[in-house]
């Protein structure tokens, strides 16, 4: 199979999914004066996003970067926290002697504590992600 074929499968179906804007060559929009009304501007920003003008592309890139920063920060914190535990247990076996309410601390740390923490981190992420999206929509709709 030639490279050309592999890169362009069922082109009609893909075009239908991408919309007419996807097929057009990129068009750069030059705006000299902003004379439109409120709603007009919102629509134009949406079109700019779809046509990927330099402004539109910059907006999307910024949104993606923001979301990735939130996600990556939280994921790193959780993974780092989880990875810290086994090595701590390995290096400081005395932790196994500690008890809280008659239950050894490692059992509590692994059997109960992670679940509320994981939910809490998820909740924080959902809030951040939705705020980023709201800001984005507000900016487009302003």
Partner 1 sequence: MTATVYSLTAIVFMAMVTFLLGYVGSRKANTTPDFLVARRAIPASRNAAAISGEYLSAASFLGVAGLVLKDGVDALWYPVGFTAGYLALLLFVAAPLRRSGAYTLPDFAEARLGSVNVRHFSTFFVVCIGVLYLVPQLQSAGLTLTTITRLPAWLGGLVVTAIVVVNVLGGGMRAITLVQAFQYWGKLFAIAAPTFVLFVVFLASPNRATQPLSDEGVVRFPQAETITVAEQVVKVRVDEPLRLRVSGQINGRDADGPVFWGRGVYELSPGTTMEFTAGSPVPVVEGSPTTNEAWSRPQTGGISELVRTYSLIFATFLGTMGLPHVLVRFYTNPDGKAARRTALHVLYLLGLFYLFPTVLGVLSKLYLPQLLVNGKTDAAVLMLPETMLPNLGGQILGAIVAAGAFAAFLSTSSGLVVSVAGVVSTDILPGKVRDFRWATVFTGAVAIALAVALPRSDASLTVAMSFALAASTFCPLLVLGIWWRGLTWVGAVCGLVVGGGLVISAQVVSVVSSYTGRWAPAFITQPALITVPVAFAIMIVVSKGTRRRVPADVSQILLRLHAPDPLGFIRDRDVARFGTAEEKARMAEGKRRGAGRAR
- Which residues form the interface with partner 1 (CB under 8 A)? 1, 3, 6-10, 13-14, 16-22, 43-44, 46-47, 49-50, 52, 56-57, 60, 63-64, 67-68, 70-72, 74-75, 78-79, 82-83, 85-87, 89-90, 93, 95-96, 104, 106-107, 110-112, 114-116, 118-119, 121-123, 125-126, 129-130, 133-134, 136-137, 140
DSSP letters spanning 49-98: HHHT-HHHHHHHHHHHHHHHHHHHHHHHHHHHHHHHHHHHHHH-GGGGG-
For residue 74, what are its two tokens? 């939280």
Distance in Å, CB of 41 to partner 1, minimum = 12
Considering the complex, what minimum distance in angstroms separates the CB of residue 139 from partner 1?
Answer: 11
CA distance 48 to 54: 8
């Amino acid at each position: 199979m030639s490279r050309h074929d592999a890169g362009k499968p069922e082109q009609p179906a893909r075009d239908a999914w991408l919309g007419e804007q996807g097929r057009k060559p990129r068009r750069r929009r030059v705006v000299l004066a902003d004379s439109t009304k409120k709603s007009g501007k919102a629509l134009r920003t949406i079109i700019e996003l779809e046509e990927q003008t330099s402004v539109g592309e910059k907006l999307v890139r910024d949104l993606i970067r923001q979301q990735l920063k939130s996600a990556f920060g939280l994921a790193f914190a959780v993974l780092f926290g989880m990875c810290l535990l086994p090595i701590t247990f390995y290096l400081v076996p005395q932790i196994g002697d500690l008890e809280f309410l008659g239950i050894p601390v490692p059992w509590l740390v692994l059997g109960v504590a992670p679940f509320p923490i994981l939910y809490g981190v998820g909740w924080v992420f959902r809030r951040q992600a939705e705020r980023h999206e709201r800001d984005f929509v507000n900016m487009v709709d302003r």
